[in-house]
Chain A
Amino acid sequence: MGGKRKKCESEERDGEEVDGGDPSNSNKRQILPSMIKNKEKRSAVHAILKHQKKLEKRKKAKARDAAEKRALELGEEPPPKKTPRTIENTREFDETVCKPDDEELFAGNDADEFSSILKRECTPKILITTCRFNSTRGPAFISELLSVIPNAHFYKRGTYDLKKIVEYAKNKNFTSIIVVHTNRREPDALLIIGLPDGPTAYFKLSKLVLRKDIKNHGNPTAHKPELVLTNFTTRLGHRIGRLIQALFPQDPIFCGRRVVTFHNQRDFIFFRHHRYIFENRESKQGDSKVKKSKGTKGENIPQEKVVARLQECGPRFTLKLISLQHGTFDTKGGEFEWVHKPEMDTSRRRFFL
């Protein structure tokens, strides 16, 4: 607190010194409530400012609404709705974002480690194992992963080295290994190793909610699920996306109505598992009539409308990529394709996936 105050003072003094040079700047500074040292005074000024802002905002919203209404009455196009500025849509320009017309990208895809699975030349076969010591939530999570990923096999870790397990899995024609790492009885990391020579991705795992903790959860069937990967835009993201895609069989059974989602947002990958259903529902006549009378978009509502409903099956978790390694697991002598380094954090609007 004291330090902060001192800093304030020095800033003020600086401001006074500069005063002659840039008066507008110093004026602006004087208004800021954070410069006021007396708390009561500060909060009073702050309250006034906040109130003014609120009024302004309300005025703006009113004006906007009025303009829209007037446009509708006159039969004109209403003014276009503004899109809010979010961190994602003001993302820093990244030249590694994949473009759909990039033939080199497709050539690279054809040549990469996952192409044989994704072209359905071989079926994925997954080995799931744990870290050396695991209990409670770890096994529970694994049993749910086994129900999510078809053709996944759990093997006890025992005291084997991971490199030995990789060798074993290679010989048994597994295509991927998933290692669930638990710390203090809570799963906290996920390691996905592509086989035989695919990359190794290390994810931080957080916000794990198991199936039984989800309200109104459904129980998944044994059908092969559909897979949704969203927002994997850059080269690195694309590669991670393909790595995840290679875990699942490429021929989903649609009558199972099961969908597994990996959604990337600001470099966090959200995992969700749902069952969906399309239901034909009698649309209420009265409702649509009211809408028709209002003259909005009521005309083409059918008598029966299809409603999609979702039921979450769990588990639910969030992944964050820590590193992507070239080749199979080798912490000591591995070559990294991507590792996070502090010098890369230049902005909160910079994303890698």
Chain B
Amino acid sequence: MTLLSVKDLRVTFDTEAGVVEAVRGVSFSLGRERLGIVGESGSGKTMTGRSVLRLIRPPGRIDAAEMVFDGQDLMKASEREMRALRGQRIAMVMQDPKYSLNPVMQVGAQLMEGLRQRDRLGGAEAKKKAIAALEAVQIRDPERVMAAYPHELSGGMGQRVMIAMMLIPNPDLLIADEPTSALDVTVQAEVLSILDGLVRDRGMGLIFISHDLRLVARFCDRVLVMYKGKIVEELAARDLLAAKHPYTQGLLNCLPRIGGDRGPLPGLDRTADWARA
């Protein structure tokens, strides 16, 4: 069953220096599966993710031949309908909890905001749900975390709070935009496994955006490789090593291997035909 279908998505920015195309005709569809989007910075992967929520700030503009989520045309939806989808059915975890949590609001207030404002729950009930959500991301003393401010949390804690917050309404689709890139390597694995478990248990669709090919391959069912705003290759995660596109191969070659040779790693050859399109 298709949850999300995107055809010929374009994101353009009208800047003073001219029109910049960040996403140039991306098409993909997604069921209740885990789709990875990889690419270097500026490849348009973040913009693709945010387009689904229609959260591109002006002067950015979204165009698509089709963008349908669970039977609902996102391109034609009113702002009000989009708001009903956001948070409730489509959620997003961003890169760095230092910036993605409101610095002057207590964690608890931010966690309960959706429950209180949208679902109109009473304080006690909202608190119960928020605490349950924090326990689901393996936070041991949820009461203390609820009363804390974001700057009092570590990066790993902050990101777990973010995940808990986004998963409270049990969305059908989660967009995880580099959810572990800002974290220490030691914490990355922990946060990933929490995210993995929750997505699996609740059977939601996941778009996992990352620049880390290996990570994506291990974590997702299917991988889209983006370069300069276009999808250059789509393949099943297990076939990653058999990638045909020179860009994908180039990315793979850039990674060091345990037991590999210790010479300098090769860079990307951007002079080839594929890189000029």
Chain B binds chain A: no
Give the interface of B toward A (CB within 8 A): none
